[in-house]
Amino acid sequence: MKPDVIQLTKDIVSISSVSHQSNTIICDLLEETLKRCEFEVERLQFIDQEGKTKISLVAKKGAGKGGFGMFSHSDTVPGDEWAWDAFSPAIKNNRLIGRGSCDMKGPLAATIVAGASINPSQLNKPLLIIITADEEISGRGARQVAEESVIFNSCRPMHGVIAEPTQLTPVYAHKGGARIVVTAYGKSAHTSTDLGISANFLIAPFLAEMVEVAKLCKTDESFMNYEFDPPTNGFNMILDDGGCKPNVTAAKTICTLGFRPMPDDRSQDIIDMVTEKAKKYDFEVTSSQGQPFYISPEARIVQTGLKATGMSKPSTVPFGTDAFSFQDSLELVILGPGNIEQAHTVGEYIEINQLFEAVKVYRKMIEMLCIQ
């Protein structure tokens, strides 16, 4: 029997798969469902830093090379169960409520139900469903699929959809994620001895310089990109002195700066500028940068998304996705049911209509990319 999108979403929302847990139980159910829908399924596994087993699934229907892949992740952010019944999915006012309903178990269920409706003999090119682990924390599942999956690397799908919630608007670009970690070392002592050196005082002049960088990011248009809303990079700073007490000098203060790189926004200049300022004070500094996602709005996959949804113009979003790991391998569009504002909230929900609509949209995309 073909799965029902509402029932399947409820089934997988009711299995907690918060990123810090193992996701084997939900993946067992998804694997069995995919096999029932005539998909061949590959399981990839790694052990995370906490020793938990993490599974990603790559499923295929139809033979040959190229074709179309539908991408989602099986992990969620924590349930915050103290505030609501996160893992007991409920339907109210045409909404399906529960942790992950929107980000992104509902969208994931819609890809499976759309794929299930296709008879393998109809396919001229293969159809893939890719479900990654740990998207919310490290993206490691996606990297493993890109590097190690036999099905993914032998089919080499040409086109793909990342099913993250965009209210079914095709999205051709999203911001990346950059992080700079600056550490100042002082000397811990009880203030009664006055022998300590506070890392907080050491780092303070540097922090004042970061206020200026933050202002620059908000005012200088060369650090912005008006294809995005907002066009600014969200430059932010958090501080950690280890919860130092008022009568002790801080031994170590860590300043973490983050922002969201966009194409042509001088993000490397920001990293270089901050790194240089930190080195001037002899602080320890490390940085990393997740690239933004960008594809031409004219690309075939974006145009296919527009045709399937009946929309006239693609959009951009400010949040990141697994597209980082896959954009070098194939043409991608981000397109899924639900509103990202629901993601990670207490009371998270997805509109039922969006789920039904998504099944139709994915079905049309499969027809355009794998059948015609």
Q: Find the shortest distance in angstroms from Cβ 103 to Zn ion.
A: 4
Nearest residue relative to Zn ion (C-beta): 103
Residue with smaller CB distance to Zn ion, 232 or 321: 321
Site for Zn ion in 244-263 (CB under 5 A): none
Residue with smaller CB distance to Zn ion, 104 or 257: 104
Residue with smaller CB distance to Zn ion, 42 or 135: 135
Binding-residue total with Zn ion (CB under 5 A): 3
Residue range at the interface with Zn ion (CB under 5 A); choices 23-31, 86-94, 96-104, 281-289: 96-104
Sign of CA dihedral 45, 43, 60, 10: negative
Residue with smaller CB distance to Zn ion, 96 or 244: 96
Q: Find the shortest distance in angstroms from Cβ 307 to Zn ion.
A: 25
Q: Find the shortest distance in angstroms from Cβ 228 to Zn ion.
A: 18
Q: Find the shortest distance in angstroms from Cβ 319 to Zn ion.
A: 8
Residue with smaller CB distance to Zn ion, 218 or 344: 344
Site for Zn ion in 146-165 (CB under 5 A): 164
Residue with smaller CB distance to Zn ion, 34 or 104: 104
Separation between Cα atoms, residue 338 and residue 355, nearest integer Å = 8
Residue with smaller CB distance to Zn ion, 103 or 241: 103
Q: Find the shortest distance in angstroms from Cβ 73 to Zn ion.
A: 6
Q: Find the shortest distance in angstroms from Cβ 49 to Zn ion.
A: 20
Residue with smaller CB distance to Zn ion, 42 or 164: 164
Q: Find the shortest distance in angstroms from Cβ 180 to Zn ion.
A: 25
Q: Find the shortest distance in angstroms from Cβ 334 to Zn ion.
A: 10
What x/- string results for residues 101 through 120 when contact with Zn ion is judged by CB under 5 A? --xx----------------
Sign of CA dihedral 79, 165, 328, 259: negative
- Report yes or no: 290 and 147 within 8 Å, Cβ to Cβ: no
Q: Does 11 bind Zn ion (CB under 5 A)?
A: no
Site for Zn ion in 162-201 (CB under 5 A): 164
| Interacting residues toward Zn ion by CB under 5 A | 103-104, 164
